[in-house]
Structure 1
Amino acid sequence: MSRKADRIDRLAELTAARAEDGRGHGVWREAFDRTRRNPMAIAGAGTVCVFLFFAIFGPWLAPYSPTAQTWGNEVFPNQNVFVGPRAENWLGLDNLGRDQFSRMIIGARQTLLVGVVATLLGFTVGALLGGTAGAAHALGGVWGRRLDAALMRVTDMMLAVPALLLAVSVAALLGQSLATVMIAVGVAQIPIFARLLRGAMIAQAGRDYVLAARALGVRKRRIALGHILPNSLGPVLVQGTLTLATAIIDAAALSYLGLGNPDPSTPEWGTMLADAQRFLSGAPQLAVYPALAIIVTALGFTLLGEAMRESLDPRLRK
C-alpha cells in the first residue's frame, strides 16, 4: 500500500512540475523518459553500444590482421593440436593460426552490416507495401479496397512460408555472396513490416482526430499521408529493433549453411561458427566465442526493442 501511495505522490509531483513549466511533453519524449528508466532498456542499450563500438572501431582495435596466419606453425588441426588463450592471443588461435580475438572484432562489423542492411531492406519495402495498403484502406472506395486486398494477398503468400526457409530459398536462387545474405534476410522480413504498418494505419483511421479532420473537410490523401501514417510508425520502428536481432541470427544461420560470403578468410560470426564445427572435439572454444557473440548481441537488441514497445504501448505503461 505504501509503494502505491509513493507512486501516486511521485506522479502528482511530476504533474505539478509540468504544470508549472507551462508546457507538456510529446508522446516520443515521454516514451524516451520511460525507456531510460527501464532496467531492461539500459541492459539492452549497453549491450548494443558495446557491439556498435567494436563494429565501428574494430579495424583500429584489432591487434593483428584477421587474415594473417602468423602462428600457423603452432597449430596442427589434423593432430588435434590447438592453441588456447594466452598473453599475445587473448582468445587463442583458430585452425589456421590466425588470432581469434582479432577475427571476432572484425567479424562484428560484417555481422552489423548484414543485420542493418537486411533490416533496412525489409523495413523499406514492407513499409511501402503496408503504407500503400493502409492508405488505400483508409481512403476507402472500391479501388482502394481492391488495392488493399491485392497487396495483402501477396503479403499473406510470403507469410505462409517460414522466414528462414524463405531466406534460404532466396539465397539459393541468387547464389553464394554477402549481398545474397542481406537480400535473403531482408525479403523474409518484408511481410512482417507490411502487415504491422497496415494494421496500425487501420487502427489510427478510427481515431477522433481523423474524424475531426474529415469533419473540417481535409482531403483524404492528406489525412492518410500527413496524419495517419506518421502516427502509425511507432510500432514499426520498435519492430525494426526486434527484427535486427532476428536478422543477425538468420544471417548467421545462412552463413552456417554455406550460403554466406564465399571467401572463408573474411571473418563473420556465422561463417566462423560453421568452420568451427569440424574442430569441436579439440577446440570447442572456436565455436563458443562466435556463438556467444551472436546470442548476446541478439539479446541486447531484443531487450531494447521490448523496452521500447512497453514504453510506446499505453496498455503496457507502468
Structure 2
Amino acid sequence: MASTTTRADKIDRLAELTAQQEAHGGASLWREAFRRLRASKMAVIGAVIIAVFVVLAVIGPWIAPYGPTEQAWRGEVFPNQGRFVGPRGENWFGLDHLGRDEFSRMLVGARQTLLVGVVSMLIGLVVGALVGALSGAAATLGGASGKRLDSFVMRVTDMLLALPSLLLAVSIAAVMGQSLTTVMIAVGVVQVPVFARLLRGSMLAQGGSDYVLAARALGVRRRRIVLTQILPNSLSPVIVQATLSLATAIIEAAALSYLGLGNPDPAVPEWGVMLSQAQRFFDNAPMMSVYPAVGIIITALGFTLLGEAMREALDPKLRG
C-alpha cells in the first residue's frame, strides 16, 4: 500500500500546485507557461521528437519504399540457418525473418503505435475525467450523500492504483482476448484512476479559491459554480497528465503486444509486435529488435520530456 500512497500523493500534489499557480492570475497562467515552454530546451526537444513521430505516422505508408507485407527477398533469408540480410542500399534497415523490408515496416508501424497510444490515452482521459468530475463535484457540493459518494469512488480508485499498471492491463487483455481493441481498452482502463484522482484533487483545491468564495457570497448556486468555474479551472493538471500518459500508454501497449496480447495478425506492422517477433532471432539478428525498441524508447522520451516541461511550467515554485 506504500506505493499506492506515493502515487496518490504525487497526483494530489500536482493538482495542488496547479491550483496555486492559477490563483496568481487565470488569464496569465497559460501565457506564462507557454513562454517558459519556449525557453525550455527539454520542451523543445520533446516537441521536436513528437512532431517527427506524428509526421512519420501520418505519411509513413505513402513514403515507405516497399509494402510492409511484401516478402520480395524471402529467398535471401534463412532463419533456420541463422542467415539474415542486414542494412544495404535497397533495404536501409535490412530484412526481417520473412524477407520483408524492415525500414518500411517501421514507417508503417509508427501509425499503429501512435493510434494505440492516443486512443488508449483518450479512453483513460474521458472515463477518468467523468469519474473525477463526479467525485469532485460530490465532495465540493457537500452534503452527507455527496461525501459518501466521493468516499466510495476514491476507495475504488485507490484499489486500482494499488495494482501494478502492467499487471492490471495484462489481466484485462487476457480476459477480453487477443486484439488491438483489447490493448487499447486495457491500457485505457489503467489510466482511468490516475485521471480521476487528479481531477478530483484539483477540483477540491479550486474549491477554496477566492473566486469561489466571492461567487458563494453573491448567492450563486453551488452547482453552477462547480460546472462553470471550478471544473474548467481544474483541467490544467489533467492536460499535463494526458501528455505524460501518452508515453506510458505507448510503452504498455508495446508490452502487451510483446506478450502476444496485441493484434492477432502478425503481418500488420506495429512496433510491439515487431519486437515480439524479433526476440526469437536476437542472437543472429539483434538489429531486428533494436529498431522497434529504439523507436518506442525515443517516442516515449519525447512525450515524457514535453509533459515534464509542462508540469514545471505550471509549478508556482518555479516562477521567475
TM above 0.5, one fold?
Answer: yes
Correspondence for 1:278 among 267, 277, 280: 280
Give ranges in structure 1 of 5+ residues lacking alignment: 1-23
Give the match for residue 7 of structure 2: none
Output the amino acid matched with 1:119. Answer: M
The Cα shift of 1:25 comes to: 5.5
| Structure 1 counterpart of 2:302 | 300
Report the alpha carbon displacement of residue 28 of structure 1 after superposing the two structures with TM: 1.3
- Partners of 2:159 and 2:45 lie apart in 1 by 37
Structure 2: which amino acid aligns with 1:64?
A: Y
Q: Which residue of 1 aligns with 2:166?
A: 164
Amino acid at match of 1:144: G
> 1:317 deviation in Å?
2.9
SS of equivalent to 1:281: coil
After TM superposition, give the deviation of residue 29 of structure 1 in Å.
Answer: 2.0
| Distance in 2, Cα, partners of 1:33 & 1:252 | 34
Q: What one-letter code is carried by the residue in structure 1 that aligns with 2:34?
A: F
Return the match for 1:250 from 248, 252, 260.
252
- Deviation at residue 40 of structure 1 after TM alignment: 0.4
Instruction: Specify the alignment match of 1:173 in structure 2.
Output: 175
Q: Of the candidates 45, 52, 71, which is equivalent to residue 69 of structure 1?
A: 71
One-letter code of the match for 2:260? G
- Rounded Cα–Cα distance in structure 1 between residues aligned with 2:146 and 2:317: 31
Residue 90 of structure 2 is matched in structure 1 by: 88
CA offset at residue 146 of structure 1?
A: 1.1
Over 2 Å off, 4+ runs:
none
* Alignment match, 1:4: none
| 1:201-228 Cα deviation digits (max 9, x unpaired) | 1011011111111111111011111111
Which is higher, the Rg of structure 1 or of structure 2? Answer: 1
Question: Equivalent residue of 1:262, what SS?
Answer: coil
Query: What code does the residue aligned with 2:267 have?
Result: S
CA distance in 1 between counterparts of 2:270 and 2:51 reads 19
The answer to whether the aligner puts 1:186 opposite 2:188 as a matched pair is: yes
Looking at structure 2, the residues matched to 40 and 143 of structure 1 have their Cα atoms a distance apart, in angstroms, of 45
TM-score by length of 1: 0.91
CA displacement 1:122-153 (0-9 Å, x = unmatched): 00000000111001111111111111111112
**Which amino acid in the other structure matches residue 253 of structure 2?**
A
Q: Could you report, residue by residue, the CA deviation over 1:125-182 in whole angstroms, capped at 9, with x for unpaired residues?
A: 0000011100111111111111111111221221121111110010001000000000
What CA distance in whole angstroms lies between the structure 2 residues aligned with 1:53 and 1:128? 31
Identity across the alignment (%)? 69
Q: Give the drift of 1:315.
A: 1.8
Q: Equivalent residues in 2 for 1:131-150 (5 A)?
A: 131-150=133-152
Measure, in 2, the Cα distance between the counterparts of 1:80 and 1:97.
13
**Between Structure 1 and Structure 2, how many residues are aligned?**
295
Deviation string for 1:239-286 (max 9, x for gaps)? 000000000000000000000000000000001001111111110000
The unaligned stretches of length 5 or more in structure 2 are 1-25
C-alpha deviations, 1:98-120, integer Å up to 9, x for none? 00000000010000000000000
Q: Quick one: distance in 1 between partners of 2:27 and 2:183? A: 42
Q: Which residue of 2 aligns with 1:100?
A: 102
3-state SS of 2:300 partner: helix
1:46 maps to 48
- Which of 111, 114, 117 is the matching residue for 1:115? 117
Separation in 1, partners of 2:81, 2:241 = 48
Q: Over residues 275-307 of structure 1, what are the superposed CA-to-partner deviations in whole Å (9 max), with x where a residue is unaligned?
A: 111111110000000000000000000000001
Instruction: Name the CA distance, whole Å, in 2 between partners of 1:89 and 1:127.
Output: 46
Give secondary structure in 2 for the equivalent of 1:229: helix
Report 1 or 2 for greater relative contact order, CA contacts < 8 Å, sequence distance ≥ 6.
2
